[in-house]
Amino acid sequence: MAIKVLTIQEDILGANDEKAKENGVFLDKKGILMVNIMSSPGAGKTSLLLKTVENLKSKTRIGVIEGDVASTIDAEKVSEQEVPVLQINTAGGCHLDANMIEQALKNMPLDDIDLLLIENVGNLICPAEFALGEQRKAMLLSLPEGDDKPYKYPLMFTEADVVLVNKIDLAPLLEFDMDSFMKAVKGLNSKVRIFQISCKTGKGMDEWYSWLEGELKSYRG
Amino acid sequence: MAIKVLTIQEDILGANDEKAKENGVFLDKKGILMVNIMSSPGAGKTSLLLKTVENLKSKTRIGVIEGDVASTIDAEKVSEQEVPVLQINTAGGCHLDANMIEQALKNMPLDDIDLLLIENVGNLICPAEFALGEQRKAMLLSLPEGDDKPYKYPLMFTEADVVLVNKIDLAPLLEFDMDSFMKAVKGLNSKVRIFQISCKTGKGMDEWYSWLEGELKSYRG
């Protein structure tokens, strides 16, 4: 059965990659930068989104797609910021895929959006395998998760354009070896940018905002 | 494509359930209690395992199966406790399945084991969908992950026999509404036992050890 699963998985990934490419081409034509934000459950994706929208919405026209197995909790929080938001429920699925994003794009006011932020399903494994058509991949790793995660979930760190190390306000209470973590991440992905942040205190967030604005600027030429 | 995936998924789950039943019958004959421990990445499964083995190994013959996408970090830590341990690498797979456990059981000294603890892959979604043949399911939720997780990952909380709320030593620094969390979990699963623990300080761990010993006693008659 193991081999059977693998074959099916490859077919799905191939079909998904095709659809993701189509989404990417479509977004390029529209001039929309789509950023796929991924992490474990509870690492702080929604807090990051809320702070980012709050900080950038006066300068940039932002839209948000929320991915969750169940519930609309996150979309409700984002909608308070009065930006376009759409919730995808995967009904048990452990990641978003390119077909879901194609459907979502059909249901968003794309002419009013320059930066489209996607909160993927909380999972450090499968979201890294399924391209959505995004131009950038961001991942969060929160300090309480531990510094060994690059060894245990290597693909996510390999795929990311930027790694945000969140909850650094908890550092004094935790045994998290930042040097060892940085070295492991750079070993997998030498080009990745790494920012240490706290969505709670705001520390390091300006670097992330600047990075996003810089990427948007270079994308839109 | 969404419907295709769902159909395949159902076939896989059906075949997995059959194999899981076989594993369960086999373990019953051997008199081995297998406990499937599940959580998000970094919630503390390995710390829980290490403390549990350390505390119970003088009274109970314990074996451990470690599930990870990659690496043998966790198995190496457990092997220092000098109990039988086997590492399964899923090579990208986001959960263990019954076939993997069948293979693992063939490679363990089962005549020397009464309690078999499984650390599943760090993931709050798919491990809840794939039965392994275990007699008990335990899940960890660490405080930094937030109190809204039962709404966002309901199946895991519905399937668990026991929920361990870990890292309660961080409670003073976090906004985690324990009453609201408890209510949400009980709403999904009225029979579940919930223990508040800290693998770091040891708080609440005795309740978990007693529960495990009680389950082993009642299982073995």
B190-220 pLDDT, tens digit per residue, is 999 999 999 999 999 999 999 999 999 999 9
Q: Which residues of B touch A19 (CB under 8 A)?
A: 1
Query: Least CB-CB distance to B152: which of A15, A68, A97?
Result: A68
With left for phi above 0 and alpha for psi between -120 and 50, is residue A44 left, alpha or beta? left
This model of the complex carries an ipTM of: 0.90
The pLDDT assigned to A51 comes to: 98
Query: Least CB-CB distance to A42: which of B2, B93, B146?
Result: B146
| Mean pLDDT, all residues of chain A | 93
Q: Rounded to a whole number, what is the distance in Å from the CA of B125 to chain A's nearest CA?
A: 6
Give the nearest chain B residue to A89 (CA atoms).
Answer: B152
On the question of pLDDT at B125 being above 60, the answer is yes
Distance set, CA B6 to CA A132, B13, B107, B111 (Å): 19, 10, 33, 40
CB atoms A70 and B99 under 8 Å: no
Tell me what the mean pLDDT of segment B7-29 comes to: 85
The answer to whether B157 and B190 have CB atoms below 8 angstroms apart is: no
Q: Is B126 on the interface with A (CB under 8 A)?
A: yes
Q: Rounded to a whole number, what is the distance in Å from the CA of B34 to chain A's nearest CA?
A: 22
The pLDDT assigned to A221 comes to: 85
Tell me what the mean pLDDT of segment B153-157 comes to: 97
The pLDDT assigned to B3 comes to: 30
Q: Which residues of B touch A5 (CB under 8 A)?
A: 12, 93
Share of chain B above pLDDT 70, in %: 95
Share of chain A above pLDDT 70, in %: 95
Query: Least CB-CB distance to B92: which of A121, A123, A155?
Result: A155
Q: Which residues of A touch B149 (CB under 8 A)?
A: 41-42
- What is the residue whose two structure tokens read 């077919």? A11
Q: Which residues of B touch A100 (CB under 8 A)?
A: 2
The answer to whether B105 and B30 have CB atoms below 8 angstroms apart is: no
State pTM to two decimals: 0.93
- Please give the structure tokens belonging to residue A123: 């999972």
Reduced 3-state DSSP string for chain B: CHHHHHHHHHHHHHHHHHHHHHHHHHHHHHCCEEEEEECCCCCCHHHHHHHHHHHHCCCCCEEEEEEECCCCHHHHHHHCCCCCEEEEECCCCCCCCHHHHHHHHHCCCHHHCCEEEEECCCCCCHHHCCCCCCCEEEEEEEHHHCCCHHHHCHHHHHHCCEEEEECHHHHHHCCCCHHHHHHHHHHHCCCCEEEECCCCCCCCHHHHHHHHHHHHHHHHC
